[in-house]
Structure 1
């Protein structure tokens, strides 16, 4: 027997229904915020992620499914969604248009890491990317949209926010942080020591308890923001307060990707174990330009579908559609024709084998329809059907044309 690869998982039965419910809920809300659907390839040039996510990141350094294809191209399976959407945005020359663009997407991502609860090697994300709007109001709207999605799904959450500054305030802070980290580097883990020279900001995101102990006294970017970044962050907190969205300012929140600037945020849940982040994102105003597009402000997010599946409160299923069955073999052709007509407007479950009444009722229980429709010998002669409303329990024999 051939099994799924480690860290890859089939979605079937109740899980697939839950997955579909999450996607449909998030999609309907994103559309209300003006987002349209975009589909990008699973396979991209490796250079796209090296340039956007950052060569110093764990994703590029350790986790990508990367290989040389038959055309000698260096390619990889997408580890995250934003870079591909930005590449598509530039490829379609949308960066040259004055119209603001908003996209949502969902689909599989791939990272070669240790599988654990809520984190697989093939996992799925739903995300949104907004291009062309520099206002912090858009950051706020992105956050409110995520909150609305989680509220609709019945998921409790905690919001963490931070500011990562910009090209004005980040360089002096980075220099200050490197000085601090150099003084304590003997106390830091191997990864943090490597990051001091490659990407010191990522040290703040280290999960090692010993490192976190020493980082308590590290300089905080939020205390060293330029006037513009400080003003935007204060405005964001005001907007969240007025909207009644509770938040925590986490000065060590930096996100795992190199392209973020200014607003960074995460939604976390205490109900899924150590991997508590269920959605995250922020602003990435330089990424379009960095990937050879026209300078375009942008902000977005992604939520992990597998991470929230167990937390989702599914709505109660209500009986819907028809169960149709034949009680004599001769009635099956008539039954099939009737089912084809009804499927133009309704869900129809058909039992192809002729059975007795009790056997059909067992099938009705499994199908959970609103109506049961049976054709027996008498009904076939009279061009009629027996129909039962399973909610009101009313039974009737009516002409096929009436159905």
Structure 2
């Protein structure tokens, strides 16, 4: 099955890198020359000599910053700032060295001392200017040309994974096991994927993981927060091999990757993001250490983590999910503490607890939850249904069959 790919083209990467490097280097050069020109009394005779003094460092800065931009160092300001400073230090030192050697000086102790002193002398303005422009103009130019994922409000990517032939052997914890029809499951999966594609999602298929029965529930492997992807650790040993191919996929999407480390466990089915609030289920699959690690990762990104007890179902999103307006919905008997949510609305069916907002006005609901579909429609939303009965037999829902990146 073929789907569109949102990977960055080589031409855009090269153009973005060159434009980013050029804009930072040129602005830093002009700012530095102008600053010294004014401080020297705006004497026209000094302008040309100042421009020559900084030209080598500026040229090296352009080259090195362009390389850094090609490696996507300018997707976030707090990475761009130290990169800009480091590049400016190296370029200033080497540029001044070339100028000194060009004037016939020997590379001796006096020259070395002069080069070191220049970094906190005439080159300091250039270094500081590079850092400032890297974190501001450089990031803006890179995003404008290359399209950084964190700034693309229209991005809608869905990672999906074809069911393994061993699907029927998947883990079952809170419900009685019943027979799964693999062929019917495949047809239902194809219909589910088609719904995502029809509603504007760029669907990307992670390679099938034969032998990993639960791998179709791809949402459990990765969670995204702006342009950061967090790779989880499954709470059950049988699922530990699912993340490698998913991580390769998100790295190809130019997302910054963080990992939950053992002994922490964290599954995506326990993570519900509503605006800048991240509800995390403390369940049989996600432990306290996993929640602590997630909090340390996402709080600097501007997200608040709220831990929620989950004792009656497999995952938090087995019990609750959210509508496009942020209202949390769920089947009340399965929700431990509904008061922890900012707004909570009870739905009439267990299968209606998990819904997927396809856009701001459209919601995907399991066909096994007609009462929930009617309730959501009464709130002014368009409801699309999908039959996923074979996955519901394995405690799955419409949320866990895809990892959605926005």
How high is the TM-score relative to the length of structure 1? Answer: 0.24
| More helix per residue | 2
How high is the TM-score relative to the length of structure 2? Answer: 0.24
